[in-house]
């Protein structure tokens, strides 16, 4: 008998108690509070209710407030029109099990069945599969962590205790105002038809919200769905990672010093003569590498004279530091290339040794989309050079990219350094007219200066 009791104790501890404590206290693998100065989220559990939920939706619509509803599956099936209205009016809909039963008293298979049945019901009514899950009472078991890859678990950061009538509307309002700050996720209820709740309690919740919502809006707060708050939180974390602390500043400073030393050591020339802020630098050297077919039937061979291309990593760092997203960084890179390529062509083609230059060649992890500028992309042969180049460029990417080192684990198969090559013939064909314009502009500027 004692062994059975001990077994039950261990089972309850590891299956239910510890996962619940870890998730609630430390936020492990759950979302419970956002990072935002002004955005807050209202979340409602246990509904929909045929009386209280429509009144609540009326109030939210009046103030153009968006919220998140964690619905009980059997309640949703009984009130499909209300669920459809939630979706139609722009609210987010998550899962609160099919019936309001604790995950501590259900097997993993039973929890999965509850989630699946509720998900299917919501999808039938709205046409969208729900992405968020809140277990009843916020109680998680060990296997809820494993299901996180399929659905994000959402808890809360503020709980006014609105499920009992005795709490009263004024006390609910006061508690919500006391905890009012950016990133807050409020746990509220639009249905009292569950174990431990009072059927008429949502009346107090709605009455409290009638005063709380205008007061929060007047203070400059905005009400957003949980998924929107999560996006704002991700952006805030990304920005925080980009902000250079003392150690990061030291590392970046040392790296930029090395970049300048590298430019001096190898005598790199700016694509725009005299401009140290040019996006592209280069040097003329001999090519040592594999044979590369170039457009137009030409071939680049070891020993050929080339323009070895180098991006301005200091400028890249500035782009990455200021960019708010990966897309914005990509747009900045494309525009920088568009501005600089004609200048590079003018600088190269006006050299006395230009006729002997076979191609413009570079090695970069930023190689997607360079075909639009005439470059051919070539895989680097496996070996020490490719490995060392990849290590260096990954370190560089972790510094310049807006998402920092997190980006290295995201689609890492695409973060591979490759050689890009542009034949001199293609350089002239694409940028010959631009070279003439650049040269004419230089002559005009010189004449103006002499005058």
Closest by CA to 98, choosing from 63, 79, 124, 72, is: 72
The answer to whether 39 and 222 have CB atoms below 8 angstroms apart is yes
87 catalytically annotated:
no
449 catalytically annotated:
no
- Which residues neighbour 118 within 8 Å (Cβ) at sequence distance 6 or greater? 71, 72, 73, 76, 95, 96, 97, 98, 130
Q: Which of 45, 144, 190, 304 is catalytic?
A: 45
Q: How far apart are CA 328 and CA 319, in angstroms?
A: 9
Pairing label, strands 39-45, 222-223? parallel
Tokens of 251: 């590392």
Degrees, nearest 5: CA angle 437-439-444: 90
Name the β-bridge partners of 95.
71, 133
Alpha-helical (H) ranges within 150-245 are 169-178, 201-218, 226-242
Q: How far apart are CA 280 and CA 241, in angstroms?
A: 27
Asked if the peptide bond before residue 48 counts as cis, ω within 30 degrees of 0, the response is yes
Q: Which of 114, 189, 310, 401 is catalytic?
A: 189
* Residues with catalytic roles: 45, 189
């Amino acid at each position: 008998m004692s062994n059975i009791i001990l077994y039950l104790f261990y089972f309850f501890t590891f299956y239910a108690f510890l996962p619940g404590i870890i998730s609630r206290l430390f936020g492990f693998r759950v979302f419970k509070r956002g990072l935002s100065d002004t955005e807050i989220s209202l979340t409602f559990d246990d509904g929909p209710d045929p009386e209280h939920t429509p009144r609540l939706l009326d109030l939210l619509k009046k103030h153009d407030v968006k919220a998140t509803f964690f619905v009980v599956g059997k309640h949703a099936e009984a009130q499909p029109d209300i669920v459809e209205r939630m979706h139609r009016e722009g609210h987010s809909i998550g899962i609160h099990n099919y019936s309001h039963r604790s995950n501590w008293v259900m097997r993993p298979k039973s929890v999965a069945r509850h989630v699946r049945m509720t998900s299917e019901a919501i999808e039938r009514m709205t046409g969208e599969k729900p992405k968020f899950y809140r277990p009843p009472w916020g109680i998680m078991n060990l296997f809820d962590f494993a299901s996180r890859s399929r659905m994000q678990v959402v808890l809360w950061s503020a709980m006014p205790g609105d499920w009992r009538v005795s709490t009263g509307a004024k006390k609910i309002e006061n508690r919500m105002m006391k905890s009012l700050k950016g990133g807050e996720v409020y746990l509220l209820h639009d249905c009292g038809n569950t174990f431990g709740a009072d059927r008429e309690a949502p009346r107090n919740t709605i009455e409290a919200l009638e005063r709380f919502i205008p007061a929060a809006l007047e203070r400059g707060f905005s009400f957003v769905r949980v998924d929107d708050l999560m996006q704002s939180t991700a952006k805030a974390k990304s920005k925080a990672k980009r902000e250079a602390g003392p150690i990061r500043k030291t590392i970046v400073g040392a790296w930029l010093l090395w970049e300048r030393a590298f430019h001096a050591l190898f005598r790199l020339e700016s694509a725009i003569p005299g401009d140290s802020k040019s996006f592209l630098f280069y040097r003329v050297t001999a090519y040592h590498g594999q044979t590369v077919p170039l457009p137009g039937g030409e071939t680049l061979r070891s020993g050929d004279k080339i323009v070895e291309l180098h991006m301005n990593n200091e400028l890249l760092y500035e782009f990455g530091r200021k960019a708010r997203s990966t897309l914005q960084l990509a747009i900045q890179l494309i525009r920088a290339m568009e501005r600089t390529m004609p200048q590079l062509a003018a600088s190269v083609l006006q050299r006395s040794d230009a006729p002997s230059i076979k191609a413009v060649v570079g090695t970069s992890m930023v190689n997607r989309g360079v075909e639009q500028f005439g470059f051919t992309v070539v895989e680097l042969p496996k070996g020490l050079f490719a490995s060392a180049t990849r290590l260096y460029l990954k370190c560089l990417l972790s510094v310049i990219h807006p998402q920092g080192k997190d980006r290295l684990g995201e689609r890492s198969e695409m973060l591979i350094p490759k050689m890009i090559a542009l034949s001199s013939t293609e350089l002239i064909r694409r940028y010959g007219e631009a070279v003439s314009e650049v040269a004419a502009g230089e002559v005009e500027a010189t004449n103006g200066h002499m005058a």
